Structure 1
Amino acid sequence: MSIIIAIDGYSSTGKSTTAKAVAQALGYVYIDTGAMYRAVTYLALEKGFASTSGIEVKALMKVLRKTDIKFVYNATLGFSEIYLDGKNIENEIRGIEIANWVSEVAKQPEVRTYLVNLQRKMGEQKGIVMDGRDIGTTVFPNAELKIFMTASEQVRAERRYKELKAKGDNASFEEVLANIQHRDHIDTTRKESPLRKADDAVVIDNTHLTIEEQVQKILSLMEKYQ
């Protein structure tokens, strides 16, 4: 029995890493909706539609509707990467600049509506693990298994800081922590699909859990569907 697994939670809680591992273990398709919002943010910055005066939503949407966003499976890595008009932008969307802008872009109702429709199409055949901010509440409110991941701010900032340093990004720890706090505020207070735990979601606080322990918790919840 193939189902939809919806994984929501705060930024830098390791949702994507855990979701990838769960998908691999089950032979499911993994879809990183955060990467989709980052891709749109990348597009907005590239086209000059994001500035201190705000997001030029109409101009952005006009371009976005003509832009191909898709995931392509990378057999070497074992998971899919995001492409924008045929270009792999996986590395470009993971830096601090995109992180500083993504919540501003993602809170735009027009952007969310457009991407939610894309995400629903991707899940029509089920057998997917999809992670993001509103998967279990908005995108797939009837998903068979919903997970809500959380961790302390300090631990999340430390994880993200290490990731950025490993990629050669010169962001300071203070900058990373401030970014996480800012994103949490925007994600939980925006009018359109705010981040919140679905009533039937299972909470996993991974402040003191390894990735392997998180994956095993989710796989154990899957037993009744197998």
Structure 2
Amino acid sequence: MVHQEGDNDRMIIAIDGPAGAGKSSVARKVAEQLGYVYIDTGSMYRAVTLMAQRARVTVEQTAKLADLVKSLEIELEPGEQGQSVFVNGEDVTALIRTREVTLQVSHIAANETVREVLGIMQRKLAERKGVVMDGRDIGSHVLPQAELKIFLTASVKERALRRYREIVDSQSITLAQLETEIAERDRLDEQRDISPLICAPDAIVLDSTAMTIDEVIHAIVKLSRTKLAEAK
């Protein structure tokens, strides 16, 4: 069966939540299981942050930052290790995951023009349905029409521990440092004026503190199938 755009067999799934909640890993696997397209919006903000750092444009230089984001062509392509990210044709997938980018991305993401430009790109990517998109404000702002909205969270302690395990050279940072940084990112994301991190009123909250990644994926896939069945 060929799926027509906007038919009842496909939906938009929005997964929001704080830093380190496991959104990207979960969203990618959910998309895989459903045969959907996965869109990692966090990588788009990271790409802008990387390019701003290269151009020596600071978050205070709002006009320069606005010009910079408008000059970028950001492409997301499915890759073996998740999603490959290209900026103006350059593969920046590995470069956007550095600690320097991680520490700056919440500041850059608070810029109104950055959010506006990337929001337009994200809505365009979701036009065809059959999409799993994750970020901080997908269900609340970017795609309020998403049929299934998940707010994925976990305790600060658990999120710091997960990040700590991911870092190959964990000698360079302590677990306590990571906890402090994650708590600070939460504060920045929740308190920014433009599209702050909030749980959409119609979102289903999933606290993954005591769940395995497979349990989280299974729960979201099940919810999506229930939603589709109800829609028919």
Give the TM-score of the pair, scaled to structure 2.
0.91
Question: In the alignment, does 2:67 pair up with 1:67?
Answer: no
Counting only pairs closer than 5 Å after superposition, residues 168-207 of structure 1 correspond to structure 2 as 170-207=172-209
Structure-1 separation of matches of 2:31 and 2:110: 27
1:14 to 10, 22, 33: 22
**Counterpart position of 2:46:** 38
Aligned structure 1 segments of 4 or more residues deviating by more than 4 angstroms: none
Alpha-carbon displacement from aligned partner over 1:105-147 (angstroms, at most 9, x marks no partner): 0011111111101100000001100000000000011100000
Corresponding residue SS for 1:141: coil
**Counterpart position of 2:141:** 138
Structure-1 separation of matches of 2:60 and 2:27: 30
- Structure 2 residue identity aligned to 1:10: P
Unaligned ranges ≥5, structure 1: none
Query: Percent same amino acid at aligned positions?
Result: 41
**Counterpart position of 2:152:** 149
Corresponding residue SS for 2:193: coil
Structure-2 separation of matches of 1:31 and 1:104: 21
Counterpart contact for 2:69–2:117, Cα < 8 Å? no
Alpha-carbon displacement from aligned partner over 1:69-123 (angstroms, at most 9, x marks no partner): 011222x34x421111112212111122111101100011111111101100000
Question: In the alignment, does 2:15 pair up with 1:29?
Answer: no
What is the RMSD of the two structures over their aligned residues, measured on CA atoms?
1.4
**Counterpart position of 2:218:** 216
**Counterpart position of 1:113:** 116
Give the TM-score of the pair, scaled to structure 1.
0.93
Q: CA deviation at 1:171?
A: 2.7
CA 1:23 to 1:203, structure 2 compared with 1: closer, same or farther past 3 Å?
same
Counterpart contact for 2:52–2:68, Cα < 8 Å? no
Alpha-carbon displacement from aligned partner over 1:44-70 (angstroms, at most 9, x marks no partner): 1111012xxx43221122122122101
Q: How many residues align?
A: 220
Counterpart contact for 1:96–1:171, Cα < 8 Å? no
Structure-2 separation of matches of 1:172 and 1:218: 32
Alpha-carbon displacement from aligned partner over 1:21-66 (angstroms, at most 9, x marks no partner): 000001100000011111111111111012xxx4322112212212
CA 1:146 to 1:169, structure 2 compared with 1: closer, same or farther past 3 Å?
farther
CA 1:72 to 1:170, structure 2 compared with 1: closer, same or farther past 3 Å?
same
Structure-1 separation of matches of 2:171 and 2:129: 37
Structure-2 separation of matches of 1:69 and 1:7: 21
Structure-2 separation of matches of 1:143 and 1:185: 26
Structure-2 separation of matches of 1:168 and 1:186: 24
Corresponding residue SS for 2:83: strand
Unaligned ranges ≥5, structure 2: 1-8
Which sits farther off after the overlay, 65-74 or 107-116? 65-74
